[in-house]
Amino acid sequence: MLFENKQSGTHTDVFLDKLDMNHKINFSKRLEHDDPTVPLAELLLSKLQVVKLNEKDIVDMIVLLLEHELGEDGRDNINRIQISEYLSRDWGFYHTVEINLQKLEASLEGYSSFLTHENKRVIISKVENLKEVIERKPKSFGWKIRARSGESINWYEEVEEVYR
């Protein structure tokens, strides 16, 4: 659902039970894990699933990784186990995240005006930790079969631009 406030120029997108864009994120059974928003793992995945990243997506990921630790319970931390679960079942989603984590790391120098050296180190450390957890997670049979085709077959859904 889309809501727009013409006076302020703000808009709100409301997703019910799932985010269905370049990749699907079903958070219907995960909403009780955090409050007042979707769990941080799904919030980060909602950015990492974007095939055509823009600057806002990158800044959102930077903020999430700077403000929240990686963890395993999802209580005010980014549940890296939950992220690895999503990606172990869907090679396309995994591949998009793999590309976007590389883009995120490569983009950090472009934000030197507001990121300190320590900020960059923290983000890179968390990205590397997340990648390790994702790689260690055993992959499903379907994931392995799909991985054989690689990019020769489109691995994501095209998203139509919404004009407001």
Q: Give the global pTM.
A: 0.85
Number of domains in the chain: 1
Let me know if residue 99 belongs to a domain. Answer: yes
pLDDT of residue 36: 58
Let me know if residue 125 belongs to a domain. Answer: yes
Helix, strand, coil fractions of the chain, as percent rounded to 5? 55, 10, 35
- The DSSP bridge pattern shows strands 24-26 and 18-20 to be antiparallel
Which domain range does residue 130 map to?
A: 30-149
Cα-flanking dihedrals φ and ψ of residue 123, to 5°? -65, -45
Let me know if residue 7 belongs to a domain. Answer: no
32, pLDDT greater than 70: no
Q: How confident is the model at residue 58 (pLDDT cuts 50, 70, 90)?
A: very high
Let me know if residue 124 belongs to a domain. Answer: yes
